[in-house]
Amino acid sequence: MTESQRYTSAEILAVLSARQLKDGQVVFAGVGIPLLAATLAQRLNCPGLTILFEGGVVGAFIEPGKLPPSTNDQRCTKRANMVLGSADVLLLLQRGYVDVGFMGGAQIDQYGNLNSSFIGDPAAPKTRLPGTGGGNDISSLTNMIVAMKHEKRRFVEHVDFITSPGFIRGRNTRSESGLLAGGMFRVITELAVFGFDDEMRRMKVLALNPGVSREQVQDNTGFDLIFDETVAITEPPASHELETLRMLDPERLFTA
> What are the tens digits of pLDDT across the range 197-213?
999 999 999 999 999 99
pTM here? 0.94
Catalytic residue among 11, 54, 190, 241: 54
Name the nearest CA neighbour of 34 among 53, 48, 47: 53
Alpha helix positions (H), 64-188: 86-94, 135-141, 173-176
User: Domain coordinates of the chain in residue numbers?
Assistant: 3-189+238-248
Q: Which fold has domain 3-189+238-248?
A: Glutaconate Coenzyme A-transferase (3.40.1080)
- Taking each helix axis as running N to C, give the angle between helix 9-18 and helix 239-248, from 0 to 180 degrees, rounded to the nearest 10: 100
Instruction: Quote the strand ranges of the chain, DSSP E.
Output: 26-29, 50-52, 57-58, 82-83, 100-103, 107-109, 114-115, 118-121, 124-128, 143-147, 155-156, 183-188, 192-196, 203-208, 226-233
What is the per-residue pLDDT for 105? 84
CA distance 46 to 117: 33
CA distance 195 to 230: 13
CA distance 56 to 72: 8
Q: How confident is the model at residue 1 (pLDDT cuts 50, 70, 90)?
A: very low
- The more confidently predicted of residues 106 and 16 is 16
Compute the average pLDDT of residues 124-153.
93
Neighbours of 211 (CB within 10 A): 9
CA distance 62 to 80: 9
- The more confidently predicted of residues 98 and 2 is 98
Neighbours of 92 (CB within 10 A): 16
Identify whether 54 is a catalytic site residue: yes
Compute the average pLDDT of residues 126-143.
91
